[in-house]
Structure 1
Amino acid sequence: MDVKGVQAAISFDGEWITIVKKAIGQPDRPTRINVRSISSTTLKPATRLFHGYIQFGVPGSDQAAERKGIVLGGRPPHDDPNSLSIPHRSNDAAAKIVAAIEEARVRLSP
């Protein structure tokens, strides 16, 4: 299960979430998160004017706050390893991947 984001992508294999961030002129920055270590999931759907985001809460690390402004449109910064900005066309795929992750959290919880 994959979702294309803004200069990034997210994939979920049923147990591991992989977020790959891309920056111009730099190597890809992958982050892997086990679904068992997620404490919260946030999905803010994109609008036609502003990107949305998916963000995962992981114990021991603070969630990056939304940055306000006309350019950012209320989403976490690109350097937050536990979030992914999504365009409007990815809203349906993002909702499906978040639902699958939440289902896996419940299924794999002790």
Structure 2
Amino acid sequence: MEVNGVQGSIRFDGEWITITKRAVGHQPREFRLRAADVTGTRLKPATRLFHGYLQFLLPGSAQASESTGIASGGRPPHSDPHSLSIPRRSNDGAAKLMAAVEQVRSSQ
């Protein structure tokens, strides 16, 4: 299952979460997380005016704070490796991906 975000994507194969981020002028960066290691998830759906985000919390890492201001719309910064901003059209796919990750977490 894959969700296309803003300058990146998230794939989930049932065990591993792969977050790929593409910054303008840089090579894509890929971050892999094992779903069983995730201690929490956050999903903020996008609206017509602002992007939303998916965020995965891991043991020993603090959750990224939401940026404030009109341009960022309350999302974690792009430099956070465990989150990805999503457009409104990806809300349904993001909810399904988060439900799948939560199902794997609860079965551990």
2:9 is aligned with 1:6: no
- Give SS of 1:93's match: helix
- C-alpha distance in 2, partners of 1:75/1:59? 21
Residue-by-residue CA offset, 1:18-68 (whole Å, 9 max, x unaligned) = 000001111111000001110100000000000000001001111110011
1:88 deviates by: 0.3
Letter in 2 for 1:15: E
Identity of aligned residues (%): 60
Equivalent pairs counted in the alignment come to: 108
Q: Which residue number in structure 2 is paired with residue 78 of structure 1?
A: 78
Inter-partner Cα distance in structure 2 for 1:67 and 1:26? 22
CA distance in 2, matches of 1:29, 1:60: 22
What CA distance in whole angstroms lies between the structure 1 residues aligned with 2:41 and 2:61? Answer: 14
Give the letter aligned to residue 29 of structure 1.
R
What residue number does 2:59 align with?
Answer: 59
Residue number in structure 1 paired with 2:69: 69
Residue in structure 2 matched with residue 98 of structure 1 by the alignment: 98
- Calculate the TM-score normalised by the size of structure 1: 0.96
Gaps of 5+ in 2: none
TM-score by length of 2: 0.98
Other-structure match for 2:30:
30
Asked if residue 19 in structure 1 is aligned to residue 19 in structure 2, the reply is yes
User: Following TM superposition, where does structure 1 have runs of at least 4 consecutive aligned residues deviating by more than 6 angstroms?
Assistant: none
Whole-angstrom distance in 2 between the partners of 1:62 and 1:5:
22
Structure 1 stretches lacking a partner, 5+ long: none
